[in-house]
Structure 1
Amino acid sequence: MKYQKYRLLIEKLFKRQLTEKQAADLSKWLRSPEDKEGFDDMCHELWVNTPTAANDSVEAAMFANIQSRMDETETEKFSKRLSFYKIAAAALLVFCIGLGAYTYFIRKNMTDRLAEVVETKVEKGQKAQVILPDGTKVWLNSFSQLTYDGAFNQRERRVKLSGEAYFEVTKNRDKHFVVECEGVEIEALGTAFDVKAYPLDSTITTSLTEGRVRVSDKKSGITLEPNQQLIYNKKGNSFAVAEMDNINEADFWRKNILYFHSTPLGDIAKTIERMYDVKVVFASTDLARATFSGTIRNNSLENIFHIISLTYPMTCRFHEDTIYIKHR
C-alpha cells in the first residue's frame, strides 16, 4: 500500500511511540522532494482514529514553548492553516528536540478540518449517488441537498438533508447515523431507508426497508420496523405510521418508477416539477385536489399525464417548459 511504511511511523508519532531512529527516518522522507499526493488525507484518518492524552492547557503551554524558539517568520508560517505534511514535519522537529508538542499543531489543523462543510446538491431533473467517508451509500433525488461537516464519523455520523434521499448505512454500533431535516431527526444503525423532506412539502416521510430507525422531534419519537412508513406533519408536529403496501415503494424513484397512493394531483405535480424541471399549472384548485393511485414505469412526461388522464377526466397542453392542465 502507498505510504504503508510511513503510515506506521506517522501512527506511532501520533501515539507518542516513535523512537529516535524512526523519527530520523520519517523526518528525512518528509523533507525529500518525492510526490506525496494523498498524504494529508491519510494523516487525517490516522489522527481522527488515534486517541490523544494532552488537554488544552498542556497543548497551550507546549505551543508557547515552541513559539519562544521560533523567529517571527516561522511563527507567521505556523499560524496559517498547515497541511498534515507540514504538521508531521513540525511534529518531528519538536520530537527530536524533546518537547513533544506536536499535538498543538495537529489539533489546529483538525479545527480547520472540523469547520469544513461538504455539500452535494442535485438540480431539478437530475439524480446522484454519493459515498460518505464511513462507506454509507446515499442516492439523492432531484432538487435535493446533502450536507455534513468535518466532525462526521468521529463521535457520530450526522448529515443534513433537504429533499429526498435513500440511505444504505454502513454498520457501526459505536457511531449512530443521524439524518437532520427541519427539526426532525432520523437515527439509524446499519439500516436501509428513504427520507423525503422537501422544504415546500407539508410533511416529512421516512420509509424503512431494512433494520430499525427512530424518528423524533424535540418532544417525542417513534421507532420504525421494516416495511413501515412514518409521515410527520410539520404544522401539527404529529406522527402517523402505516404499513407499506410494497416494501419496494420506498426506493421506486431510484429505478425511475413513480408510485402514488391516493396522492393529490397537486402533490404529483410537485414531483414532476422536480424531476423534469418544468412548471405545472392547474386550471382550478379542485383539479389539483383530485387524487390518483397507480404505478407508472415509463417516465416520459407525455406518458405520465396520459396514464393519469385514463383515470381522471383531464387534458394537458405542453408549452415550452410549462404544462397546463384542465378538466376535460
Structure 2
Amino acid sequence: MDYIELLEKYMQGLTTPEEEKALLDWIQHDGDARSTISAFYEKRWKETPDTGVSAELQYKMLMNIKQNICQHEIENQSAAGRKIVWMNVMKYAAAILATMVVSVFSAYYFYSSESDVKNFVVYADKGQRSNLVLPDGTKVWLNSDSKLEYDNTYGVKERKIRLTGEAYFEVAKDKEHRFLVSTGLMDVEALGTAFNVQSYPNEDEITTTLLEGKVKISTPGQEAILLPNQQACFGKSSNGLSVIEVENAKYSNSWTKGEFAFNGATLEEIAKELSRMYNMEIKFDSDEIKEYNFSGVIRNNSLINVLEIISLTSPVVYEVVNDSIILDKQK
C-alpha cells in the first residue's frame, strides 16, 4: 500500500474510513512511519508559499503544536461530532498533522489554499472533550460545547486566545509575553500558572478558579488579583465581580479526568453540565427538585450510572424518553 499517496488524499479530505484505519494501523505498528510522515510534511512545508509569519513562530508551530483528541465514551452517541477547524492554514495544516497523535483520525480538518494564516479555531462539541498544546508549550483542555481561538500573532507580542465555554490551562512560563484568555466580558491574564475558566453563553455567571500561581482578572470597570484556591465570579446581569475562597479548587478541573465534582450544586446546575458532557437533553417534570443540592465526586461513569447515583441519594427518579432524560420527584 502506498502510504504517501494516502497521506496526500488525507490532506485533501478524500480518504475513506477504511483508508484512515489503514493509516492508523501503519502509524501504530510500523516503526518507520513517524519518520516517513515527518519527512513528508517537512517537504510540504518547504514547498508551500511563505506566510509572512516569523521564522521563530513557524518553528514553534511546526515542533510544538499537538492535537490530542480525547475520545469520551457516550452511550449510543457517535464520535463524529468533534470538529477542529483551522481557517486559511494550508501550510500549517501540514505542520500540525506532522505532530499529531494517532487519534487524529477522529477529527475533521478544513482549510483554504490561501497562504496567510488568520485563525486557528478548535471546537469540542457536546459530548466531546479535546486537549491541545499551543505553540509556546501551554497545555489546554477544552470541555464539551466549547470553542478556543487564536491567530498567527500568538507569541509575537503577547499570547492571546479567545474562549467560549470552558477550558483548563497549564500556562508555559514566559515573562516577556503575557498570556491572556478573553471571554468577551472577562479577561484572565497570567504569566505562568494553572487555572480553569468557565464562560458559557447561555449561563449568567463567568468563573475563573486558580489552582497555581497568580492571575489578574479584568471585567468592565473592575479588576482583581487571584491567589491559589480563589475563584472570581462575574455576573453578566448584575455586572458585578466577586472573589471567593474555595476549599477544593482542584475539583474545578475534575472534568479533564472524566470526573464530576459537585460542592453544593443544585440539580438544575448538574443537569446542565451532564447535558453538555453527554450530549443529551435533560428535562424536569418537577420544579421543586431543581433546587436539590448535591456534593461529591463521581468518577468515570456513564450517564445512566450518574443518574442512578443521584436517584439513590435523593428522592429523584429519571426516565429515558427517546433522546431525552426526564427527571421527576419520587412519588
Which residue is 1:197 aligned to? 199
**Secondary structure in structure 1 of the residue aligned to 2:290:** helix
Select which of 110, 124, 127 maps to 1:125: 127
Counterpart Cα distance in 2 of 1:290 and 1:253: 22
TM-score by length of 1: 0.67
Counterpart Cα distance in 2 of 1:213 and 1:128: 24
CA contact (8 A) 2:219 2:241 kept: no
Distance 1:47 1:170, change over 3 A: closer
Distance 1:213 1:112, change over 3 A: farther
Larger Rg computed on CA atoms: 1
What are the residue-to-residue correspondences of 1:1-328 with 2, within 5 Å? 36-39=43-46, 44-46=53-55, 113=116, 116-328=118-330
Counterpart Cα distance in 2 of 1:131 and 1:191: 15
**Secondary structure in structure 2 of the residue aligned to 1:38:** helix
Counterpart Cα distance in 2 of 1:258 and 1:156: 34
Counterpart Cα distance in 2 of 1:48 and 1:207: 30
Alignment length (residue pairs): 236
The Cα shift of 1:44 comes to: 3.3
CA contact (8 A) 1:258 1:299 kept: no
Counterpart Cα distance in 2 of 1:311 and 1:240: 32
Distance 1:215 1:146, change over 3 A: same
**Secondary structure in structure 2 of the residue aligned to 1:37:** helix
Counterpart Cα distance in 2 of 1:312 and 1:292: 9
Report Cα offsets for 1:234-274 as digits up to 9, x if no partner: 11121222222223212111111111111111111110111
Aligned-pair RMSD on alpha carbons? 2.6
TM-score by length of 2: 0.66
Counterpart Cα distance in 1 of 2:51 and 2:203: 41
Amino acid at match of 1:244: V
**Secondary structure in structure 1 of the residue aligned to 2:175:** coil
Amino acid at match of 2:289: L
CA contact (8 A) 1:298 1:304 kept: no
Counterpart Cα distance in 2 of 1:298 and 1:128: 17
If asked which structure has higher relative contact order (CA below 8 Å, sep 6+), I would say 2
Amino acid at match of 2:53: H
Counterpart Cα distance in 2 of 1:289 and 1:173: 45
Counterpart Cα distance in 1 of 2:125 and 2:204: 21
Distance 1:212 1:112, change over 3 A: farther
Counterpart Cα distance in 2 of 1:44 and 1:38: 13
The Cα shift of 1:228 comes to: 1.3
CA contact (8 A) 2:53 2:152 kept: no
CA contact (8 A) 2:252 2:261 kept: no
**Secondary structure in structure 1 of the residue aligned to 2:172:** coil
Counterpart Cα distance in 2 of 1:144 and 1:286: 30
Counterpart Cα distance in 2 of 1:190 and 1:172: 7
Q: Percent identity?
A: 39
Counterpart Cα distance in 2 of 1:190 and 1:42: 29
The Cα shift of 1:160 comes to: 0.5
Structure 1 residue ranges without an equivalent (≥5) = 1-34, 50-82, 84-110
The Cα shift of 1:319 comes to: 2.1
The Cα shift of 1:123 comes to: 0.8
Amino acid at match of 1:308: I
Report Cα offsets for 1:140-195 as digits up to 9, x if no partner: 01111000112111111111101110111111111101001132100011111111
CA contact (8 A) 2:52 2:116 kept: no
